[in-house]
Amino acid sequence: MKSKYFLGLALIAPAFVLPAADPALEVPLGLLPVRFPANNAYTVEKRELGRLLYYDKRLSADGTVACASCHAPENAFTDNKPVSSGIRGQKGGRSAPTVFNRAYSLAQFWDGRAATLEAQAAGPMANPIEMGNTHEAVIATLKGIPGYRARFKQVFGSEEFGIDEVTKAIATYERTVLSGNSPYDRYKAGNKKAMTASQVRGMSVYFDKAKCDQCHEGINLTTNAYHNLGVGMDKPNPDEGRMAVTKNAADYGAFKTPTLREIARTAPYMHDGSLATLEEVVDYYDKGGIANKNLDERMKPLKLTGEEKKDLVEFLKALSGEGWQAKLAPPTVFPK
């Protein structure tokens, strides 16, 4: 029987297929092969088109914001801000989650309102606070750029493309943004020197005392489920979270459980960016969250000692991966 510390499960939809071999799709230690949707098969050319679109600010209404503005590789594919800024400096209401390992995710956004990565990619472009554009205007802009017309024809077989082709390309690129080969992965693989003594003790706290794996488990350290942790519930007008999508009162204040991979690099934390450090996150869980009518039943005081808190933080740092930084550099030249 495998140790409970060595979880390695992932939910893979049957409509997903493995792509042809490509060195760029080499999966880091600790992850499973990436499946791509049957209706959005992987090709190198599509990935490269998606990479260009992801970093191109011309997709926004005023040419100032790209997907990468809020999900930048130098910031572990987030922006390290409590809430993100869109065109004209407008502020959103939630923190930008990392793009890492979205290939293993289910519904997208903190509230799960997008069923696929393709649907998620369409959202910010038409959001008046984020990129402030319309899908029609995005397509008109791209069709006005000969270099993009040629690339879309190469990838999709026609210069007559629409928003579906744009989002399929972006999602293809995003599915190659992976984080693995962390000290924790290497420790699981048998290298008992990969983690420090403090991190090994913290792993025990994570699984045995704090039971973080009730929500953060599997290869991507998330169940992809939604929970009310009490975050922001003491504010005058709390964010309804998942309930705004489902209209189900049981989802009030519930938000999607994020991956813990690269967690040390993706501060601040929680859906509203209200916790600045991992130490603050551990303290928040230790006190059992903020009481409210829908607080998850698992949110109870943990009664961790000071040393256990320090060790748990050190273990969370052991979830940062290696190797992706050099592979995912943004383009230096865009189509003209």
Residue 146 sits in which domain range? 30-178
Q: Is residue 233 assigned to a domain?
A: yes
- Buried b vs exposed e over 131-155: b needs ≥16 C-beta within 10 Å? bbbeeeebbebbeebeebbebbeeb
150 and 75, same domain (yes or no): yes
Paired with 255 in beta bridges are 227
Per-residue pLDDT reduced to its tens digit, 124-158: 999 999 999 999 999 999 999 999 999 999 999 99
Q: Is residue 18 assigned to a domain?
A: no
**Catalytic (active site) residue 130:** yes
132 and 94, same domain (yes or no): yes
pLDDT at 275 over 90: yes
Which spans in 134-195 are helix H? 135-143, 146-156, 163-174, 183-188
- Give yes or no for a contact between 37 and 116, defined as CB atoms under 8 angstroms apart: yes
The predicted structure's pLDDT at residue 328:
74
Of 48, 118, 130, 308, catalytic: 130
**Per-chain mean pLDDT for the chain:** 93
Q: Is residue 15 assigned to a domain?
A: no
5 versus 208: the higher-pLDDT residue is 208
The predicted structure's pLDDT at residue 50:
97
126 and 86, same domain (yes or no): yes
Per-residue pLDDT reduced to its tens digit, 7-62: 444 444 446 666 666 776 789 999 999 999 999 999 999 999 999 999 999 999 99
249 and 305, same domain (yes or no): yes
The predicted structure's pLDDT at residue 14:
41
48 and 139, same domain (yes or no): yes
